[in-house]
Amino acid sequence: MTDTLDLSKTVITRGGSPVEIVSTNGREPLPIIGYIGKSNELYTWRRDGVFMETLNGLKLDLINVPEPKRSGEVWVEFYIQDGIQVASSVPYSSGLVARKLIPWTEGEGLEK
């Protein structure tokens, strides 16, 4: 697992199920003990959160709950400057062609 697991924060399975950690003092190599969702069955993980067994492709490794991404909107104005269309958040003195409200989300590029 490439992410560093922080057990002082809320953890879930890589598949998104909630996890209740009961102990981090189990026997090696699987010292983390807890419940997944509403199951009454105890599960065990390595210190880095890796689940040792493969259960029909389930994603049971532990991860921290992802931080919410920031998002918002920004106005972009499109101008014709020297015969070339340019986009700017700073107004030009003339040549305004269009104004558009563009939504953004942190970590997402312009591939949309």
pLDDT, tens digit, 9 for 90 and up, residues 57-111: 678 999 999 888 999 998 888 887 777 777 766 666 667 788 888 888 988 876 6
Is 2 a domain residue? no
Is the Cβ–Cβ distance between 63 and 13 less than 8 Å?
yes
Is 55:36 a contact under the CB 8 Å cutoff?
A: no
Question: Model's pTM, two decimal places?
Answer: 0.62
If phi > 0 it is left, if psi is from -120 to 50 it is alpha, else beta; for residue 61 that is beta
Domain that holds residue 94: 71-105
Whether 60 and 24 map to the same domain: the answer is yes
Using an 8 Å Cβ cutoff, are 13 and 19 in contact? yes
Is residue 112 one of the residues assigned to a domain? no
- Tell me, yes or no, whether 25 and 49 share the same domain: yes
